[in-house]
Chain A
Amino acid sequence: MIEILDAPLPASFQDVGRPGYRHLGVPLSGALDAGWLAIANALAGNPASTVALEIRMRGPRLRATQPLTVALAGEFSARIEDAAGQSRAAANWRSHVLAANEILDTGILRSGIGYLAVHGGFDLPAVLGSRSTYARAGLGGIDGRSLRAGDLVKVGADATPISLRLPQAPLLADGPLRVIPGPQREHFTDDAWQRFVNEEFTVSREADRMGLRLDGPRLEHDAAYGADIVSDAVTPGTIQVPGDGRPIILLADCQTVGGYPKIATVIGADLPRLGHALPGQTLRFVEVSIEEALDARRQAAAELAECIASIAPDSAGFNLDALYAANLIDGVIDARHANQP
């Protein structure tokens, strides 16, 4: 088991989400950066869609009650403390074997979010096909709430120690977020659209897994349409603009429908970047075509596959073939046939 000693900021269990229930008002949820979730799981020797802890800004401190392997995907500043009180740095983008009673302090994150996976997976019940936490309706995770001190989480049965590392940390792209004009683009003045794609916005303090409210230029609705619509469907990446003209970018935990005009949608390939955005960060937007969006999706999938294929055993003598033979790594690619150092 893993005992949570300290959870200073909300952290939640996330897998690939809960598709198939949005017509019943159930949000998609799932990891804000599904690619990094897959990397964390690959480093932990898990299938790509295994549930992991999604951590924002400051991570929890936890104790292993038994020997187990954890993996860190993200820019943590983690340390491991042994039973004698000796502490050592725990590098990012690799797995770590914890002895019984060792304590992992995941520390402050320099990336917006990061993932902590455990070999064998966290043993949590699936709710509507997913272990992702959705706190507003109390679904998934531990009783549908954020992690807190005192929580005890069972770990999947497999206790084989794993030692894998990613040679090169994945890069988060910068540059403008790519968008496709939204279903209600015509509800905005041309002036508003020009400001949207030419000026800079700042992520406000209202930022969570549901969405990011932006500060910056106000985006004016065309007087002929106004600021309200009869609710229709939204999706993660949707940029909606309420009457005050301040855009809101919706994320994984967003409701299934919304009543504000939608000026644009961030393309699927750029969604992970939104998950990493923190208050104070500036954002810009650029319009792209559907074809460019699909090319970007293919490119992102290829880059992720390449990244995961580059994961290698950390020390000589480690038997990677045995790991594959045990079918512990499935997920997005077949890493065996890819280049290995």
Chain B
Amino acid sequence: MNPRILALGDGALTLEFGDRIDPAFNAKVMAARDALAALKLDGISDVVPTYRSLTVHFDPLRLDRDTLTQGLLEAAQATAQKSALATRWLIPVVFGGEYGPDLAAVARATGRSEAAVIEALCASELRVFLIGFLPGFPYLGELPEWLRLPRLATPRAAVPANSLAIAGAQAAVYPWQSPGGWHLLGRTPVRLFDVADVARPALLASGDTVRFTPIGHDEFERLATAVATRAIDPVEWQAK
């Protein structure tokens, strides 16, 4: 499938690489995002990368639509390489118990032990395919085949903030309390969205990679306090 340009009304254009979740499409999206940024076109308000597409929201009275279309077609040819902007993150998580109420059920459903579920999840280097749904909410993937479960039959009315959850091929951490139908495996002390940080309010960006690392309850409490008092710089969560 060749990349194509789709009209999202008169104020946005979508450059679409494909119609499915595929790391190869996502890599092209990120390369196109960087190539478009290099063109420094005036009149663009937002550039939104997703699993498979890049959408540019623009003011059509300031930026000529044909100029933007040409820019996007050019950007679509950018070689997919590891984006210079991508960061690798190592996110501590306390698994199971009250923080991960679905861990036991996930272990049962997959026929593995709880330890095996945690180990498999933490062994995966997950790609940030998309930030969406809520401010700072990362769609991470892809999980090992055997760990892919359908969503809960009855979604929870309130998933606690900072919950690590999985569904299908994807994992996510909820930056805010929200309704949700994913399986809750644990909780992180890391703040995923900070309105006080205007330059980089969301910790993760599309194209970054994330690994989870298990911690105990005491360590969780210690880190949560440090985060709450801003005694920890978010760069601490970058993989060394």
Contacts and interface: CB of A to CB of B under 8 A. Distances in A.
A28 B12 CA distance: 13
Interface residues of A, number: 43
A266 B193 CA distance: 31
A130 to B, nearest CB: 11
B212 to A, nearest CB: 20
Contact of A266 (B9, B49, B51): B9
Nearest to A255: B133
Nearest to B137: A25
A233 B45 CA distance: 14
Interface string B50-75: 11110101001100010000000000
B181 interface: no
Nearest to A144: B195
Max chain B C-beta neighbours (<10 A), residue from A182, A230, A234, A298:
A230
Interface string A7-27: 000000000000111111110
In this complex, the interface size class of chain B, counting residues with CB under 8 Å from chain A, is: 35 or more
Contacts of B11: 235, 268
Nearest to B48: A233
Nearest to B14: A183
B10 A128 contact: no
A132 B136 CA distance: 18
A237 B4 CA distance: 22
A30 to B, nearest CB: 11
Contacts of B117: none
Interface stretch (B15-23, B118-126, B183-191): B15-23
A127 B195 contact: yes
Interface string A209-240: 00000000000000000000111111101100
Contact of A137 (B8, B21, B55, B134): B134
Interface stretch (A52-60, A88-96, A276-284, A289-297): A289-297
Interface in B92-131: 130-131
Max chain B C-beta neighbours (<10 A), residue from A21, A24, A237, A255:
A24
Interface string B20-39: 11000000000000000000
B132 interface: yes
Nearest to A237: B9
A232 B13 CA distance: 12
Nearest to A257: B132
Contact of A232 (B46, B55, B136, B137): B55
B48 to A, nearest CB: 4
Given A139-B195, A256-B132, A235 B61 contact: no
Given A233-B53, A235-B12, A128 B176 contact: no
B7 interface: yes
Contacts of A233: 8, 12, 14, 48, 50, 53, 55
Interface stretch (B76-84, B198-206, B228-236): B198-206
A167 interface: no
A129 B195 CA distance: 10
B47 interface: yes
A128 B195 contact: yes
Contact of B135 (A19, A139, A235): A139
Contacts of A237: 9
Max chain A C-beta neighbours (<10 A), residue from B9, B16, B176, B205:
B9
Interface in A120-139: 127-129, 136-139
B46 A257 contact: no
Contacts of A138: 176
Nearest to B206: A23
Contacts of A183: 6-8, 14, 16
Contact of B61 (A25, A234, A266, A294): A294
Given A230-B50, A231-B51, 4 more contacts: A22-B46, A137-B135, A181-B7, A265-B10
25 contacts: A23-B206, A24-B136, A25-B134, A25-B137, A128-B198, A129-B198, A137-B135, A139-B135, A180-B10, A231-B132, A231-B139, A233-B53, A235-B11, A237-B9, A238-B9, A255-B132, A257-B48, A265-B7, A265-B8, A265-B9, A268-B11, A290-B65, A293-B60, A294-B10, A301-B61
Interface of A: 19-26, 28, 127-129, 136-139, 180-183, 229-235, 237-238, 255-257, 262, 265-268, 290, 293-294, 297-298, 301
Closest 5 CB pairs of A and B: A265-B9, A233-B55, A293-B10, A183-B6, A257-B132
Interface of B: 6-12, 14, 16, 19-21, 45-53, 55, 57, 60-61, 65, 130-137, 139, 176, 178, 193, 195, 198, 201-202, 205-206
